[in-house]
A and B are shown apart, each in its own frame.
Chain A
Amino acid sequence: MNLRPDPTFYPSPKLAMEGPPEILAYTLMLSPDFSQPDGLAVVNVDPNSPDFGKIVHTVIMPNKGDEFHHFGWNACSSALSPLTGHAFLERRYLIIPGMRSSRIYIIDVKGGPTAAKIHKIIEPAEVFAKTGYSRPHTIHCGPEGIYVSTLGGGGKDGTDGPPGIFIMDCQTFDVIGRYEIDRGAQDKHYDFWWNLPRDYMVSSEWALPPQFENGIVPEDLLSNKYGHRMHFWDLRARKNIQTIDLGANHQMALEIRPAHDPVQQYGFCGVVVDTTNLEGSIWTWWRDADGKFQAKKTATIPPQPANADDLPDLLKGFSAVPPLVTDIDLSLDDKYLYVACWGTGEMHQYDVSDPMKPVLAGKVELGGIVKKTKHPCGKVFGYGPQMVEISRDGKRVYWTNSLYSTWDDQFYPGERGGAMVKADVGANGGLTLDTNFFVEFPKGYRTHQIRLEGGDCSTDSFCYPSV
């Protein structure tokens, strides 16, 4: 606890953009065959440092088979909420769930780049016993504590009851219990985020554990059995107030990115694939004057024709490579939406100044199932652009390349190595890869989500408008 709010807490997105640039990034490393324990890499991203673009420290966990995916901070700018009174928390701990093991690690990163260490481990049994959920995934800090979304319910295969969100104490990290009082039609889960002063939450659906843990199930996908709905919640009443079905062909509605400025009542959601035409799509959702939520497809990304010989078994029959929109991220000024096309190997930058009309403003080609575009430094970038994170000032964009162990192997057979790259954003949009930044990871590790020291564009929730 501090006597003053943590200097990395900002009342508004605009003030966060004016804060100092990040000098460290935290990147998750996972062992896809579970032969090594997963870990956290601390990467120097200070261009003035001789260690720029290098891993300066790693924290290796004591267990194997956790499968790290997403993670988050114990506290962020939401601590300045005038309603909650947690202004004196420290942004100090990273909460890293093991998506396969349901184990949760609390990593203390205070004390400089090489000081990161394990603070606490929450064993899977505690999560199961206190919540009835399994396979924890997305972390957000909010009212009453840390919110953790899960992908599985109870039982061995996670299908005994629906998955949901649970709450952890933000100081002791005790698991408190389930969030939902009335979940309505929600029976699958993926991402969630909210507008704190407006008091609503939005969640999305990926799939149930048997549909992802051992790889994508093509029959389920072609029969539209993956998630395709968004759920809207009364945040503090913990009630599902509306469900929007995007249409069964819009398979896998993943990342939810609300406008950071809390005055705005819209946001985006990425859909991985349309099973009628292999398109990826961006949806804009908003709350209308009557308080009802609406959603509309506002951008599509077409598949690219390909030779069956260049495609993995899974895609041979289609003679095309789908873009596979697996992650999206919105800059703090709500101006640029970054869209990872993991299948085709592209990172798109859309100008979403008009959220109903995204305009492609920049694009980088890197990796890809067919194109396999090399990085300008000459190195091979395996897989495609995946988890993307934007600096607070919006000038730098970082991304890694692995989607999920078993899915990587289906779309990109063979081990292709973990990587993390950086691109610079032009003054009027546009995206250019930094030739000097290509982080290679220890052998056998793949990479997933990135967090930036002091907060980034997918962690902090702000309680005051940008004025």
Chain B
Amino acid sequence: MSPELLSTTAGLWLAVVASGIYHGVNPGMGWPLAVSAALMERRAYALPRALMALAFGHLVAMTVVLLPFALMTALVDWQTEIRVGAGLIVVALGVWLLFNRRHPRFLARVPPSRLALWSFLVAVAHGAGLMLVPIYLGLCGIVETDAGHRAATALIARTAVLSIGVAAVHTGAMITAGGALAFGVYRWLGLRFLAKSWFDLDVIWALSLVLVGAIGVFSAL
């Protein structure tokens, strides 16, 4: 991902899909829960059902983070400041996660039957939605240039639809990647793969936030 790539529409959509795949394969975002559901219920169809719940929670988490930024696009004269500010927030979260390596305890209070809620809270707590913000704002910038100086309401409508589109494409990629892994482990690879393949993504995840946030800042300037 280079700043140049992030200035083209195709490059930005690619980033939306790539971040989805990245979130999907991360066990922390829930694919092992789909394996567990299928094994515990002893029915293969429990796996897609669990994936749907996880996807729904993730989608809502993305949308609630992106929508406020969609509304802010009305502040046309402040676009640079907003993009720089958003980038800095993402960098700050990444830095915070780098130094604060504790898992939020409240996540352990969510019962295993509430997969959608769990998925929503995990995505929010780890800044999965924020990771998308710089990419999304990049896309908004292109929309805006195309649109010229339209009425603010029309602009918000367009960017709001765009935010839902970004959340949906991202979640689609996320659940396809996570689902493929879950199905592979359930069907062929077995539980041993789960323990052996799981590695600590905490630092990489935090650095990803820093990187995406920094690119967001630089591409805005």
Contacts and interface: CB of A to CB of B under 8 A. Distances in A.
Contacts of A171: 102
Interface string A166-184: 0000010000000000000
Contacts of A3: 199-200
Q: Which of A10, A83, A86, A237 has the most CB of B within 10 A?
A: A83
A15 interface: yes
Q: Which of B30, B33, B105, B108 has the most CB of A within 10 A?
A: B108
B194 interface: yes
B107 A83 contact: yes
Given A197-B40, A465-B40, A84 B192 contact: no
A236 B102 CA distance: 19
A198 B37 CA distance: 11
A319 B113 CA distance: 54
Contacts of A198: 112
B120 interface: no
Contact of A236 (B30, B32, B101, B111): B111
A308 interface: no
Nearest to A85: B103
B198 A83 contact: no
Contacts of A463: 36
A87 B198 CA distance: 8
A12 B191 contact: yes
Contacts of B118: 83
Interface string A428-467: 0000000000000000000000000000000000011101
A429 B118 CA distance: 44
Nearest to A80: B195
Given A4-B198, A11-B191, A83-B118, A464 B109 contact: no
B28 A85 contact: yes
Interface string A73-101: 00000001011111110000000000000
A12 to B, nearest CB: 5
Contacts of B42: 263
Interface string B174-214: 00000000000000000110111011101000000000000
Contacts of A84: 103, 107-108
A145 B42 CA distance: 29
Contacts, number: 84
A263 B108 contact: no
Nearest to A3: B200
Nearest to B41: A263
B107 A85 contact: yes
Contacts of B32: 82
Chain B interface, >50% SS class: helix
B111 A237 contact: yes
B147 interface: no
A83 B112 contact: yes
B198 A464 contact: no
Given A4-B200, A85-B107, A11 B192 contact: yes
A276 interface: no
Nearest to B42: A263
B108 A83 contact: yes
Contacts of A4: 196, 198-200
Contacts of B202: 88
A197 B111 CA distance: 9
Contacts of A263: 39-40, 42
A145 B103 CA distance: 11
A237 to B, nearest CB: 7
Contacts of B30: 82
B110 A82 contact: no
A85 B110 CA distance: 13
Contacts of B172: none
Interface string A182-197: 0000000000000011
A83 B195 contact: no
A4 B198 CA distance: 6
A124 interface: no
A171 B200 CA distance: 16
A462 B111 CA distance: 16
B140 interface: no
A149 B39 CA distance: 31
A262 interface: yes
A79 to B, nearest CB: 10
Contacts of A464: 35-36, 39, 191, 194
A467 B39 contact: yes
A83 B33 CA distance: 7
Interface string B32-60: 11011001101000000000000000000
Interface in A1-26: 1-5, 9-12, 15
Given A2-B200, A85-B28, A143-B108, 6 more contacts: A4-B199, A80-B194, A80-B198, A82-B36, A145-B105, A263-B42
Interface of A: 1-5, 9-12, 15, 80, 82-88, 143-145, 171, 196-199, 234, 236-237, 262-263, 463-465, 467
5 contacts: A2-B200, A5-B195, A144-B109, A197-B36, A197-B40
